Amino acid sequence: MPAESDKWGWEHVSVFGGFDRGSGTKRWKCNHCNLRYNGSYSRVRAHLLGFSGVGVKSCPAIDRSLREAFQILEEERLVRKKKKNTSNGKPSKRIRSSLQTSLSWKTISKEDVDDIVARFFYADGLNVDIVNSPYFHEMVKAIGAFGFGYEPPSIDKLSDSFLGKEKGRIVKSIALVRESWPHTGCTILCVGRLDGAVGNFHVNIFVSSPRGLIFLKAVDVDDCDDGDHVLSGALSDAVSEVGPSNVLQIISHLDDAWKSTESYILSKFPHIFWSPCTSRSILMLMEEIAEMEWVKPIILCSKAIEQWMTTYQHGTSCIFFQSLKESCDLISAKFAPSYLFVQRIFELRQTLQEVVVSEEWKQWKLSIAEDVESVESAILGDDFWSKSHLLLELYEPFIRLLGVLDIDKSIIGAVYDWRVQALEIVKSKAIDDDILNQLEGLIENKWDLLFSPLHAAGYILNPRYIGKFQTKDKSVMRGWKATLERYESESTVRRLLREQLSAYWRLEGSLGEEDAVDCRDKMDPVAWWENFGFETPNLQTLAIKVLSQVSSVAMCREIWQTNDSSCREAANNLGVQRVEELVFVRNNLRLHCQKSYNLSSSPSQRNIISSSSSGIKTWDNCYLDYTKAIVDIHDRM
């Protein structure tokens, strides 16, 4: 019998004593729900893990995450128990029969096992990156815990019963997410990729809500005239599956060729918003800035420096600028190459200046016919560097927002505040009034085109921004008006929402209580409305739904940028239904893994923005990978 100290469940109950001396049956009370029971450890475990049929109820005070943590503790206890039994000479029947036929495995070394694992990958041509998957490590540990004699399931079982069982587990876990949709609403994310190998357009459809991101389905659209019809039908089916009343918006990462799909969806579901991806909008704004007259010379000069330094490198022994060339290649496609290009040149300022005054550079100049004096002057002078520094400072709020958008979190109420802060930063710089007016006009003119009205509504309804004079901002009020008209078709209900908004701004009733005022910038905005918005129920419902939405497809990029063709090829002989099940299971398992990493890693590990020694905010390697992913996606489109 295992020692009582190994039974983790006793730490979560209060024991009042045993019935008999030395008996495992005790009187105990759960520390979480205060329910009292008589029984042994098996009842304690069943109560905490939610097992039925042993005379105790599942603890109602334990949430899903805590129950999963208990499950891990229980699995570890069972592994220790099995190892102890084996070391005591009491192997199970399965292990005993295996030992009789495979005694040679008893003395196998770690090095031998590594050789066999490696041989498996090499012989079957699998992607060796799979060793980074937590599911691979989970599998290896489970096999090791089982011991000798484990036989893997057959291909028939893997493609049938086990696949169905895994899908059932995922559907059951997703059911918990679905329960929250009527309260918080949700966003459908629609991202596409042109698959050149098979000549079709591959679309992934996700559903995002505060409870979690799930993969719904994948659609292959052949390059033919009825492509719009196929995609429109699939997206319409997705909305119906989720529940039209639960869907607040659709964020599309498809190009303009699919505009008819947008028109069809909005005509069928007029209350749903079709919102641009905020990440893409920010990148497009950055490139709009790069086209301004005072910025163009900086970009052109940076390109000239890169070109000449690459030519110099090819003609000499210098190898430093290979890193410069590779960095530029990362973002040489369509979106936001200008910022990263100038930023990389700026980082190399000191090295570039050392190069152009070196003897090797001077000798190299004599061997070429072209004049490089303008490049030398730019590198050795102050004008180019000061303007580059100013441009990077103006880009800083854009980069900061891009980093925040890269997480599975709703910040829709903060995007418009970013707009305000960006303009304030611009005003604080020592730039001409004409340039300032151009920047303000650019952001103002492009806002309604590149950003959803929900950003304005979120800015108004986020309690931490009360008193920001939103009524004075025409763009904000246009967005609020558009939100009301799409969200609510009844004029009487819209009037009631406007009246309740005025009560919110005037801090009437529960909205103006001391705790409500004190918690405006301390609580999550959704939690604030849940606690203090009960006297304005219509506005409370709208606020919770708006503030619960994401505004970018960035959090699902690891799925959309992955080609499922190999997965589909392996399952083609199983039939269409099995292929769909396999893709559904695979992508949701990967999302679960991604979420687990985000929960377990520290904020510093997930931080996208870092500061350079020059004081300019720069992208780290994670963000470079993200930028490359965006470029790759749009190249395929």
List Cβ neighbours of 231 (8 Å cut-off, separation of 6 or more).
201, 203, 219, 221, 254, 258, 261
Select the more confidently predicted residue: 572 or 243.
243
Q: What is the pLDDT of residue 393?
A: 83
Residue 133 has pLDDT above 90, yes or no: no
Among the residue ranges 50-54, 217-221, 419-423, the one predicted with the least confidence is 50-54
CB 216 within 8 A of CB 205: yes
Q: Over the chain, what is the mean pLDDT? A: 78
Residue 472 has pLDDT above 80, yes or no: yes
- Among 518, 146, 199, smallest CA distance to 531 is for 518
**Residue 193 burial by Cβ neighbours in a 10 Å radius (0-12, 13-18, 19+):** buried
Residue 544 has pLDDT above 90, yes or no: yes
CA 184 – CA 526 distance, rounded (Å): 9
Place of tokens 């599998």: 139
186 pLDDT band, cuts 50/70/90, is very high
Instruction: Convert the pLDDT of each residue in 34-46 to its tens digit.
Output: 888 888 888 888 8
Q: What is the pLDDT of residue 484?
A: 95
Among the residue ranges 341-345, 476-480, 515-519, 630-634, the one predicted with the least confidence is 630-634
Instruction: Convert the pLDDT of each residue in 286-317 to its tens digit.
Output: 888 888 888 889 989 988 888 888 888 776 66
Place of tokens 């489970």: 142
Global pTM? 0.70
List Cβ neighbours of 524 (8 Å cut-off, separation of 6 or more).
none
Q: What is the pLDDT of residue 196?
A: 55
Among the residue ranges 145-149, 314-318, 321-325, the one predicted with the least confidence is 321-325
Instruction: Convert the pLDDT of each residue in 220-253 to its tens digit.
Output: 877 655 667 888 899 999 999 999 999 999 998 7
* Mean pLDDT on 133-155: 84
577 pLDDT band, cuts 50/70/90, is low
In percent, how much of the chain has pLDDT > 70?
77
CA 6 – CA 486 distance, rounded (Å): 59
Q: Which helix (H) or strand (E) holds 276?
A: strand 273-276
Among the residue ranges 194-208, 350-364, 400-414, 541-555, the one predicted with the least confidence is 400-414
54 pLDDT band, cuts 50/70/90, is confident
Residue 16 has pLDDT above 50, yes or no: yes
* Mean pLDDT on 507-520: 94
CB 433 within 8 A of CB 574: no
Select the more confidently predicted residue: 459 or 330.
459
CB 33 within 8 A of CB 15: no
457 pLDDT band, cuts 50/70/90, is very high
Q: What is the pLDDT of residue 329?
A: 33
103 pLDDT band, cuts 50/70/90, is very low
Sign of CA pseudo-dihedral 135, 141, 146, 151: positive
Mean pLDDT highest for which of 251-265, 395-409, 488-502? 488-502
Neighbours of 339 (CB within 10 A): 26
Strands 247-252 and 186-195, sheet pairing: parallel
Q: Which residues pair with 201 in a beta bridge?
A: 194, 221
Q: What is the pLDDT of residue 382?
A: 92
DSSP letter, residue 107: G
Torsion of CA 208, 213, 217, 220, to 10 degrees: 80
CA 48 – CA 521 distance, rounded (Å): 36
Mean pLDDT highest for which of 151-160, 542-551, 577-586, 589-598? 542-551
Q: What is the pLDDT of residue 336?
A: 63
DSSP letter, residue 111: H
Q: What is the pLDDT of residue 195?
A: 63
Q: What is the pLDDT of residue 520?
A: 92
Among the residue ranges 241-255, 339-353, 408-422, the one predicted with the least confidence is 408-422
List Cβ neighbours of 97 (8 Å cut-off, separation of 6 or more).
149
Instruction: Convert the pLDDT of each residue in 595-633 to its tens digit.
Output: 765 555 444 444 333 333 223 222 233 333 333 333 333
Sign of CA pseudo-dihedral 512, 515, 518, 524: negative
